[in-house]
């Protein structure tokens, strides 16, 4: 048996790839922006109450979400308003931090698993 046949290939440690991180962040942010999480649902039993609350929220920076329906439900009327930009930006910053923490945990777990294999191979 030759020396090359007796050795195992050792994988290089995985490092943080900025392009991969940016792609994951972009995907998570887009999912947030296109979800109910970026909105506030307003549901009232009568039209006047719905209009009153919508106007109050619009004054606070909320905007109509044209991608989600306004509905007549069994309980009354319902619509979705996009959260104010500042509120969405705060949520996006949390999302970015969560995505970065998750990818760093994945890298750490990957590197630990491969370093354990390397240690066992040389024991």
Per-residue pLDDT tens digits of the chain, which is 123 residues long = 444 554 555 567 888 889 999 999 999 999 999 999 999 999 999 999 999 999 999 999 999 998 888 999 888 999 999 999 999 999 999 999 999 999 999 999 988 887 765 555 555
Alpha-carbon span 20 to 50, nearest angstrom: 43
Which residues are 81's β-sheet partners? 40, 64
Q: Where are the domains of the chain?
A: 38-83, 85-123
Closest CA to 102 of 25, 7, 47: 25
What is the pTM for the complete model shown?
0.73
């Amino acid at each position: 048996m030759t020396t090359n046949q007796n050795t195992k290939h050792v994988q290089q440690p995985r490092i943080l790839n900025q392009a991969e991180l940016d792609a994951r962040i972009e995907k998570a942010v887009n999912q947030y922006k296109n979800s109910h999480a970026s909105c506030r649902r307003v549901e009232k039993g009568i039209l006047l109450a719905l209009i009153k609350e919508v106007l109050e929220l619009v004054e606070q920076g909320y905007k109509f979400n044209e991608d989600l329906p306004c509905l007549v439900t069994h309980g009354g009327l319902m619509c979705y308003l996009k959260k104010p930009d500042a509120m969405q930006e705060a949520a996006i910053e949390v999302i970015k931090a969560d995505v970065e923490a998750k990818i760093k945990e994945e890298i750490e777990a990957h590197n630990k698993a491969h370093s354990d294999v390397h240690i066992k191979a040389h024991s």
